[in-house]
Amino acid sequence: MLHELKNHRGAQGYLRLTGVPAEGLEHGCDSGIDLAYLQDQIPDLRDLSKSSQDLANDTEDLLALIELPQFHSPEDSGVSGVDPRIRSQLAELQLRPDRVLHFGQDEGLPRQDTLEFSRLEAWSCQLQGRVWDPNSLSSFWFELVNGAYGDVYRAKGLMNLPDGRAFFCNWMVSQSGSQFLPLEQLAPPDGRPNRISALVVQGKALDSNGIRSTIADCLLTDAVLELHQAPQRERQSQPTPAN
Amino acid sequence: MHHAVISCLHANLAAFEAVLEDIDRQGIERITCLGDLVGYGPQPNEVVELIRHRAIPTCQGCWDEDIIDGLNACECSYPSQLAERRGHRAHQWTDEQLSQDNKDFLATLPTSLRRGRQLFVHGSPNSQHEYLLPDMDAFAALERVETAGADTLFCGHTHQPYVRELRDGSIRVRVQSSDSSQSAEQELKLPVRRIVNAGSVGEPRHGSTKATYVIHDEDNGSVEIKEVSYDVERTCRAIVDAGLPEVFAWRLSHGFEYAERAEDASHVCER
- CATH superfamily name and code, B2-165+192-253: Metallo-dependent phosphatases (3.60.21.10)
Task: Check residue A57 and give its pLDDT.
Answer: 62
Instruction: Say if CB B9 and CB B15 are below 8 A apart.
Output: yes
Q: How does DSSP classify residue A102?
A: -
In the prediction, which pLDDT does A224 show? 96
Other CB atoms within 10 Å distance of the CB of residue A177: 7
Q: For residues B227 and B233, what is the distance between their CA atoms, to the nearest angstrom?
A: 17
pLDDT digits (tens, 9 = 90+) for A58-80: 566 888 888 877 766 777 777 77
- CA separation for the pair A31, A46 (Å, rounded): 17
Q: List, as one string, the DSSP characters of A153-172.
A: EEEEEEEE-TTS-EEEEEEE
Answer yes or no: is A183 within a domain: yes
Residue A24 lies in a domain: yes
Spatial contact of B94 and B47, defined as CB atoms under 8 Å apart: no
Residue A207: Cβ within 10 Å count = 17
Identify all chain A residues contacting B251, using CB atoms and an 8 Å cutoff: 143, 148
Q: Do A143 and B263 touch (CB under 8 A)?
A: no
Residue B245: its pLDDT value, please? 94
A53/A133 same-domain check: no
In this structure, the number of other CB atoms found within 10 A of the CB of residue B96 comes to: 7
Q: Which uninterrupted H or E stretch holds A201?
A: strand A198-204
Q: What is the DSSP letter of A75?
A: S
Residues of B in contact with A210 (CB under 8 A): 246-247
Domain count, chain A: 2
Q: Is A136's CB within 8 Å of B81's CB?
A: yes
In sign, the C-alpha dihedral spanning A39, A41, A44, A46 is negative
Q: Give a yes or no: residue A113 inside a domain.
A: no
Q: A105: pLDDT confidence band, cut at 50, 70 and 90? A: confident
Of the pLDDT bands very low, low, confident and very high (cuts 50, 70, 90), residue A228 is: very high
User: Inter-chain contact A135–B80, Cβ cutoff 8 Å?
Assistant: yes
pLDDT of residue A54: 59
Question: Quick check: A112 pLDDT over 70?
Answer: no
Report pLDDT for B29: 96
Find the DSSP H helices in chain A: 2-7, 33-41, 84-92, 134-145, 208-218, 222-237
Q: Is the pLDDT of residue A14 over 60?
A: yes
Q: Point out which residues pair with A124 in neighbouring strands.
A: A200
- Boundaries of domain holding A77: 2-92
pLDDT of residue B180: 67
Burial tier of A156 (Cβ tally within 10 Å: 0-12, 13-18, 19+):
buried
In a domain, A50, yes or no: yes
Is residue A207 assigned to a domain? yes
Cβ within 8 Å, pair A135-B246: no
Residue of chain B nearest A211, judged by CA positions: B247
Nearest chain B CA: its distance from A132 CA (Å): 9
CB B259 within 8 A of CB B63: no
Total residues found in chain B within this entry: 271
Confirm whether A114 is domain-assigned: no
B263 close to A (CB below 8 A):
yes
**Residues of B with CB below 8 A from A134's CB?**
80
Residues B106, A113: Cα–Cα separation, whole Å: 53
Closest CA to B110 of B54, B144, B64: B64
pLDDT at position A9: 86
User: Quick one: A84 and A126 in the same domain?
Assistant: no
Chain A contact present for B85, CB below 8 A = yes
In a domain? residue A111: no
Digits of tens for pLDDT over chain B (271 positions)?
A: 999 999 999 999 999 999 999 999 999 999 999 999 999 999 999 999 999 999 999 999 999 999 998 876 554 568 899 999 999 999 999 999 999 999 999 999 999 999 999 999 999 999 888 889 888 888 888 888 888 999 999 999 999 999 998 887 776 777 777 776 777 887 777 778 899 999 999 998 888 899 999 999 999 999 999 999 999 999 999 999 999 999 999 999 999 988 766 555 555 544 4
Q: Classify A200 in phi/psi space as left (phi over 0), alpha (psi -120 to 50) or beta.
A: beta
Rounded to whole angstroms, the Cα distance separating A9 from A42 reads 12
Inter-residue contact B97 to B146 (CB < 8 Å): no
More confident residue, B100 or A98: B100
> Looking at the structure, do residues A221 and A124 belong to the same domain, yes or no?
yes
One domain for residues A148 and A230: yes
Pair A56, A159 in one domain: no
Residue A180 pLDDT > 60, yes or no?
A: yes
Is the per-residue pLDDT at A199 higher than 90?
yes
Q: Is residue A131 a contact partner of residue A192, using CB atoms and an 8 Å limit?
A: yes
Kindly report the nearest CA distance between residue B84 and chain A, in angstroms: 9
State chain A's mean pLDDT as an integer: 85
pLDDT band with cut points at 50, 70 and 90 for residue A27: low
Sign for the pseudo-dihedral over CA of B204, B206, B209, B210: negative
Query: Is A240 part of any domain?
Result: no
A124 and A86 share one domain: no
Taking the Cβ of residue B86 and every Cβ of chain A, the question of whether any pair is shorter than 8 Å is answered with: yes
CA B137, B140, B143, B144 dihedral sign is negative
**Long-range Cβ pairs for the range A134-137 (8 Å, 24+):** A134/A161, A134/A162, A134/B80, A135/B79, A135/B80, A135/B81, A135/B82, A135/B83, A135/B263, A136/A217, A136/A218, A136/B80, A136/B81, A136/B82, A136/B83, A137/A161, A137/A169, A137/A218
Q: Is the CB of residue A93 less than 8 Å from the CB of residue A53?
A: yes
More confident call, A29 vs A153: A153
CATH of the domain at A229: 3.30.1220.10
pLDDT band at A49 (very low <50, low <70, confident <90, very high): confident
Structure ipTM: 0.84
A126 and A189 in one domain?
Answer: yes
Residues in a beta bridge with B193: B166
The more confidently predicted of residues A32 and B181 is A32
Residue A167 and residue A78 share a domain: no
Tell me what pLDDT residue B270 has: 47
